[in-house]
Amino acid sequence: RPPRSTLFPYTTLFRSIEFYNCDEEILKTPQVIEKRMNEAAKVANATIVQSVFHHFNPYGVSGAVIISESHLAIHTWPEYGYAAVDVFTCGDKINPWTAFKYLEEVFKAERSESIEVPRGMVEKIRNFSPKNLGKITFKPETIKEEVC
């Protein structure tokens, strides 16, 4: 892939993923969903900050894995064998498609679909800002301290 600065004029990417005909037992178990979502973040080379998951009565799980590069989120409907996953990332360090393939496998999805949406369009950020923003990057550059 060419560098984002020349071909991809945005700061982040949002991926919406649909998993169909998944294993219903997996989708209704919050501990399994949390474990698999954290593992998906790890296989994608993301840096996990925190995760939080909630079990709905009688079943269904919603949760998020907060990563330094943004987040992974999930909502499950076990009764339909369906899971909706969002992967929102910035930077070039992680590979979200690795997470996608991992989750597709562990949820035992028979079918999956996805869309990718660029977010933080650089020119819109620049045009709508009342101030001069200078160089816009997906992550602030590290400021080097001078040593005396």
The catalytic residue among 55, 90, 129, 148 is: 90
The catalytic residue among 68, 70, 129, 148 is: 70
**Three-class SS state of 21:** coil
Q: What angle do CA 43, 49, 52 make, to 5 degrees?
A: 95
Hey, which residues does 73 pair with through a beta bridge?
64, 86
54 is annotated as an active-site residue: no
The catalytic residue among 51, 55, 71, 75 is: 75
62 is annotated as an active-site residue: no
Inter-residue contact 60 to 75 (CB < 8 Å): yes
Contacts of 16 (CB under 8 A, 6+ apart): 84, 85, 86, 114, 115, 117
Other residues' Cβ atoms within 10 Å of the Cβ of residue 104: 20
71 is annotated as an active-site residue: no
Give 80's DSSP letter.
G
Other residues' Cβ atoms within 10 Å of the Cβ of residue 107: 25
Residues annotated as catalytic (active site), given as ranges: 70, 75, 90
